């Protein structure tokens, strides 16, 4: 019999499956060019050519027993981890070594490893709404729970007063995500400095360190030259989770890393615990061939300009029509205020216009919808008249 604890997930998943099926049915009925599917955060830009070339070169040049074998250390190849550390040091003026890097199976496994390393059952993780819904599921995996700090519209910068008030003796970590899914907001340096002060004060008050888990799969997807500050420089007790899912368009390859700085509290135990956590959670090590690909492609980037063009078209198009939204500075999402109160109802109305979008309450933020603009540019252009009709229907 299926575990009772899994049943809420099964029920939640059938809603997602129903949406996929509906999308496929609509594409078959109306033609895929007439369905405006903004529901999924799947990259719309192919991986850079260098990635495919690196795979071929590695297959030709490297020892098959090594590239397909278990890693000696669960943290990954020593030379790959050093390449990642050197890259970060060059970009951010940090001083990481291979010892601070743990290769992971995408950001998802990195976050689970970070949580297993830090959290005991009953511990609390604070998250700023709106946030990636899986955080709650990941925390639950470790007997912990997420408490949402209410959203702070229209800037959607984290509500720092809310953070200060929310800290309790159960608080072990705050999870942050910038550039943000679903708002596209980038947290400023001032925000991070103030957050660091609050967490330092809060840690002293409750008598144990509060960690930042910085979830950064969209770090490179930043527009208009906006700075995405590197969080470890502002707060010592920070673990960074990174992934190449979006930055190199490799979500199916499942590759990323954690940065566990030497400055964190109880570093020696934490680094070993993280190494063991990956193993006991069943990841064992990150995919070995793709680790080597990532290292060879460390300087490569995806076609940011394509996402930027989409961002401008959808933001300008929707605001011109009369929708309210915050201009995203990063990632590939737009968070739009719903013209009616009920975001689920609004998504149902949108579907009738062949527009597929996700309700804000899936991100602990009702009254908004998320659009993933990682789609073909023509889809955005063709969708705009339908968004106009949809808005007209609400007045
Ligand atoms: N964190 C956020 C905010 C995401 O949006 C995603 C994926 O969409 C992930 C984590 C998971 O990323 P990965 O595919 O690297 O596991």
Same domain? For 242 and 310 the reply is: no
Same domain? For 119 and 196 the reply is: yes
Same domain? For 285 and 348 the reply is: no
Does any ligand 1 atom lie closer than 6 A to the CB of residue 245?
Answer: yes
Tell me 186's DSSP state. -
Model confidence at 384, pLDDT cuts 50, 70, 90, reads very high
| Straight-line distance from the first to the last Cα atom of the chain, in angstroms, rounded to the nearest whole number | 49
Same domain? For 56 and 40 the reply is: no
Answer whether residue 14 shows pLDDT above 80: no
Answer whether residue 305 shows pLDDT above 80: yes
Tell me 383's DSSP state. H
The model's pLDDT over 156-190, given as tens digits with 9 standing for 90+, comes to: 999 999 999 999 999 999 999 999 999 999 999 99
Of 264, 280, 296, which closes a domain?
296
Same domain? For 349 and 308 the reply is: yes
* Ligand 1 center to 332 CA (angstroms): 12
Does any ligand 1 atom lie closer than 6 A to the CB of residue 373?
Answer: no
Does any ligand 1 atom lie closer than 6 A to the CB of residue 112?
Answer: no
State the Cα–Cα distance between residues 160 and 165, nearest whole angstrom. 9
State the Cα–Cα distance between residues 296 and 281, nearest whole angstrom. 28
When pLDDT is averaged across residues 262-283 and rounded to a whole number, the result is: 97
Ligand 1 pocket test: which of 39, 136, 217, 286 has the largest number of ligand atoms within 8 Å of its C-beta?
A: 217
* Ligand 1 center to 106 CA (angstroms): 8
* Ligand 1 center to 373 CA (angstroms): 16
What CATH number is associated with residue 211? 3.40.640.10
When pLDDT is averaged across residues 234-238 and rounded to a whole number, the result is: 98
Same domain? For 290 and 344 the reply is: no
Tell me whether strands 256-259 and 101-104 are parallel, antiparallel or unpaired: antiparallel
* Ligand 1 center to 215 CA (angstroms): 8
Answer whether residue 395 shows pLDDT above 90: no
Q: What's the pLDDT at 18?
A: 77
Same domain? For 210 and 181 the reply is: yes
State the Cα–Cα distance between residues 197 and 219, nearest whole angstrom. 23
Of 296, 331, 363, which closes a domain?
296
| 368-372 sheet: strands from edge to edge | 333-337, 368-372, 358-359
Same domain? For 279 and 342 the reply is: no
* Ligand 1 center to 107 CA (angstroms): 6
Cβ pair 369, 314 in contact under 8 A: no
Answer whether residue 16 shows pLDDT above 80: no
The model's pLDDT over 103-154, given as tens digits with 9 standing for 90+, comes to: 999 999 999 999 999 999 999 999 999 999 999 999 999 999 999 999 999 9
By alpha-carbon position, which residue is closest to atom 8 of ligand 1? Answer: 41
Cα–Cα distances (Å) from 265 to 49, 174, 190, 210, in that order, read 41, 15, 24, 10
Q: What's the pLDDT at 373?
A: 98
Cβ pair 242, 102 in contact under 8 A: no
Return phi, psi of residue 47, to 5°.
-60, 145
Does any ligand 1 atom lie closer than 6 A to the CB of residue 108?
Answer: yes
Does any ligand 1 atom lie closer than 6 A to the CB of residue 362?
Answer: no
Same domain? For 57 and 187 the reply is: yes
* Ligand 1 center to 339 CA (angstroms): 28
State the Cα–Cα distance between residues 6 and 230, nearest whole angstrom. 36
Q: What SS3 state is found at 262?
A: coil
The model's pLDDT over 322-372, given as tens digits with 9 standing for 90+, comes to: 999 999 999 999 999 999 999 999 999 999 999 999 999 999 999 999 999
Spatial neighbors of 280 by CB under 8 A, at least 6 apart, are: 116
Q: What's the pLDDT at 322?
A: 97
Answer whether residue 155 shows pLDDT above 80: yes
State the Cα–Cα distance between residues 146 and 166, nearest whole angstrom. 11
Question: Radius of gyration of the chain from Cα atoms?
Answer: 21
The model's pLDDT over 194-233, given as tens digits with 9 standing for 90+, comes to: 999 999 999 999 999 999 999 999 999 999 999 999 999 9
Q: Beta-carbon neighbour count of residue 17 at 10 Å?
A: 10
Domains identified in the chain, total number: 2
Same domain? For 18 and 70 the reply is: no
State the closest ligand 1 atom to the C-alpha of 243, by its place in the atom list counted from 1: 15
Query: Which range (14-18, 23-27, 69-73, 172-176) has the least confidence?
Result: 14-18
Quick check: pTM over 0.95? yes
Beta-bridge partner residues of 146: 125
State the Cα–Cα distance between residues 350 and 22, nearest whole angstrom. 13
Of 296, 314, 347, which closes a domain?
296
Residue span of the structural domain in which 384 resides: 4-47+303-394
State the Cα–Cα distance between residues 20 and 18, nearest whole angstrom. 6
State the closest ligand 1 atom to the C-alpha of 108, by its place in the atom list counted from 1: 16
The model's pLDDT over 239-268, given as tens digits with 9 standing for 90+, comes to: 999 999 999 999 999 999 999 999 999 999
Same domain? For 71 and 9 the reply is: no
Same domain? For 101 and 216 the reply is: yes
State the Cα–Cα distance between residues 194 and 200, nearest whole angstrom. 10
What CATH number is associated with residue 348? 3.90.1150.10
């Amino acid at each position: 019999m299926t575990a009772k604890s899994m049943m809420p997930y099964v029920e939640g998943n059938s809603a997602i499956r129903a949406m996929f099926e509906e999308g496929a049915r609509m594409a078959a009925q109306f033609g895929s060019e007439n369905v405006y599917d903004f529901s999924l955060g799947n990259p719309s830009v192919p991986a850079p050519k260098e990635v495919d070339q690196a795979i071929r070169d590695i297959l030709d040049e490297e020892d098959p027993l090594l590239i397909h074998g278990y890693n000696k250390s669960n943290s990954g190849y020593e030379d790959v981890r050093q390449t990642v550390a050197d890259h970060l040091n060059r970009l951010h003026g940090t001083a990481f070594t291979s010892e601070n890097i743990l290769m992971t199976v995408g950001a998802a496994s990195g976050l689970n490893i970070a949580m297993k390393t830090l959290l005991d059952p009953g511990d609390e993780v604070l998250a700023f709404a709106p946030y990636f819904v899986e955080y709650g599921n990941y925390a639950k995996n470790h007997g912990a729970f997420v408490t949402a700090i209410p959203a702070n519209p229209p800037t959607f910068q984290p509500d720092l007063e809310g953070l200060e008030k929310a800290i309790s003796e159960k608080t072990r970590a705050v999870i942050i995500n910038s550039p943000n899914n679903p708002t596209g907001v980038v947290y400023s340096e001032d925000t991070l400095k103030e957050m660091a002060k609050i967490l330092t004060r809060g840690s002293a008050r409750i008598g144990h360190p509060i960690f930042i888990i910085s979830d950064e799969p969209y770090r490179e997807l930043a527009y208009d030259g906006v700075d995405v500050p590197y969080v470890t420089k502002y707060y010592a007790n920070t673990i960074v989770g990174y992934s190449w899912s979006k930055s190199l368009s490799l979500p199916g390859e499942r590759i990323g890393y954690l940065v566990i700085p030497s400055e964190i509290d109880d570093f020696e135990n934490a680094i070993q615990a993280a190494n063991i956590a990956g193993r006991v959670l069943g990841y064992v090590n990150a995919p070995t061939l793709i680790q080597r690909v990532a290292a060879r492609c460390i300087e490569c980037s995806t076609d940011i300009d394509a996402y930027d063009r989409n961002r401008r078209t959808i933001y300008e198009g929707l605001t011109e029509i009369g929708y309210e939204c915050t201009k995203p500075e990063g990632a590939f999402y737009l968070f739009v205020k719903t013209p009616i109160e009920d975001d689920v109802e609004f998504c149902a109305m949108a579907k009738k216009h062949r527009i597929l979008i996700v309700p804000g309450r899936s991100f602990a933020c009702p009254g908004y919808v998320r659009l993933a603009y990682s789609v073909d540019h023509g889809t955005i252009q063709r969708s705009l008249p339908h968004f106009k009709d949809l808005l007209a229907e609400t007045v």
